[in-house]
Chain A
Amino acid sequence: MSFESLASLVNTCEKENKQFWQVVRDADKRQSDMTDEQEFEKMHTMWSAMLSAADSYEGDLRSASNLSGGDGGKFAEYVKNGTSVCGDFLGDVTACALQMAESNACMKRIVAAPTAGSCGVLPAVLVPLYRRKKYTEDEIIRGLFVAAGIGQVIAKRASISGAEGGCQAEIGAASAMAAGTLVYLFKGTPAQISYAAGFALQNLLGLVCDPVAGLVEVPCIKRNVTGALNACSSADIALAGIAPVIPADEVIDAMKQIGNMIDSSLRETGQGGLAATQTGKQIAQKLTAS
């Protein structure tokens, strides 16, 4: 059985003196009938697919709608100039998030994490660390168990679907997963992992799902960047020893409640928000006519 709350997951870590990733794996094992090695191997497959998706970005690809493609390459060039506001590391995170989300829009192979629309967030924080040789492959894979454990609790208590909970449920969940993973990799405690997840999610509460023409492109691709950068700062806040006022589980509950209150025009229907702007509507009309 998976966990109903991050608090119970953290408690289990402390009670059984296990790491966060081990507790997530062990809970999954009980229902999957897989061994430790099989669980690890399967997660390894996910990491390999993520990494190969990051490595095979093609800057000259465009999506079927012609709304996206190329920005990730342009941004990587910009970071190389050394003049970016965010600097090298966050610059690489941004480039990776853009590239992965563009690859998704261009029908390339990606790993849903937790969804296809939010597939850029987690690799955006992990791939730059891996490429800098800060962590071994095994450490990153353990980090992915941490991410999956956080995502599972969010899916169980609230939702990870934009159609149900808005963008806060997709990019918000991805960002919480990435934040917790970063805390694990930077040697934070299980409690700090949950703090970071809570910070990341609370920063994105209320974010609506308003894709132009109903496509996973605008604003989804740039929101992957938001999710990734928010994960980095949320992890740092937790690692600095700052504790949240509202516990992570209650933030997840608030996300669910907000999701229920979001009008359906702002839940992946392409009818409200950016989709309902003058330009958004023109784009949608043009695409339907073609």
Chain B
Amino acid sequence: MSIFDILGPVMVGPSSSHTAGAVRIGLMARLLLKERPVYADIGFCGSFAATYRGHGTDRAIAAGLLGMQPDDTRIPTSLLIAQEQGLKIFFSKLDLQDAHPNTVVLTLLGTEGKRIVVQASSIGGGRIMINKIDGIDVNFNAEMPTLIVHNSDQPGHVAHVTTLLYKNRINIATMQLYRNERGGYAVMVLEVDQSIPSLIVNKIQKLDGVIKVTYINGGTEDVI
């Protein structure tokens, strides 16, 4: 824990979990979609569902979807900005079993037709956890450079990806593997100590059996 986790972040209020964390969730969902969203269906659970209007959680999620950071002073007016920019957002309340009290499920459609469903929770102090992508468990907080590789569940993919990272002197801090069923659809999530150059990300994307690669570098970047 850094001293700037104690003094900081600089953020738009009123709540680090219900506002700042929600902006980061919106932003991460946008980065995971990998294009500008034009349609968003937002389902709030638990404490989010009970207090989202008073905490501005709706505006915070919208701000993140528009690419804003948690200290952006446009957050309070983000719903208007979304309207101007052609992003349609619908909010509803959801009941999820066994989910963290501050959980949200985002279904997004992008400008080029990409679609993604992201389940995430705000775990306190503005920190977040991405719990699921398209129904598959993943668990990462997007604080470190993070590589998310979707691939078919066959031998060799992990070896190919990790070898590419090793050859480029990138150290893996944590690694998680998930799949929907044996031989089905698999996701690997790697948190690494160094930034991954886009050249390497592209190489991984071109590997046989790799369906989709997303690279998030702390969330300070944006989709093109």
Contacts and interface: CB of A to CB of B under 8 A. Distances in A.
B12 A213 contact: no
Contacts of A105: 13-14
Interface residues of B, number: 34
Nearest to A103: B13
Nearest to A28: B3
Interface string B2-17: 1111111111111111
B71 interface: yes
A250 B4 CA distance: 25
A104 interface: yes
Interface residues of A, number: 54
Contact of B8 (A24, A64, A112, A117): A112
Nearest to B55: A215
Contacts of A145: 3
Interface stretch (A5-13, A152-160, A185-193): A152-160
13 contacts: A63-B54, A104-B14, A107-B56, A110-B13, A111-B9, A112-B16, A119-B13, A148-B3, A148-B6, A148-B7, A160-B6, A163-B124, A287-B54
A39 B53 CA distance: 37
Nearest to A64: B54
A102 to B, nearest CB: 9
A216 interface: yes
Nearest to A107: B76
A37 B13 CA distance: 29
Interface string A128-159: 00000000000000001101110110011000
A270 B51 contact: yes
Given A106-B13, A110-B13, A156-B1, 12 more contacts: A104-B14, A107-B19, A109-B12, A111-B10, A112-B8, A113-B7, A116-B13, A116-B20, A147-B6, A155-B1, A215-B55, A216-B55
Contacts of B10: 45-46, 49, 109-111
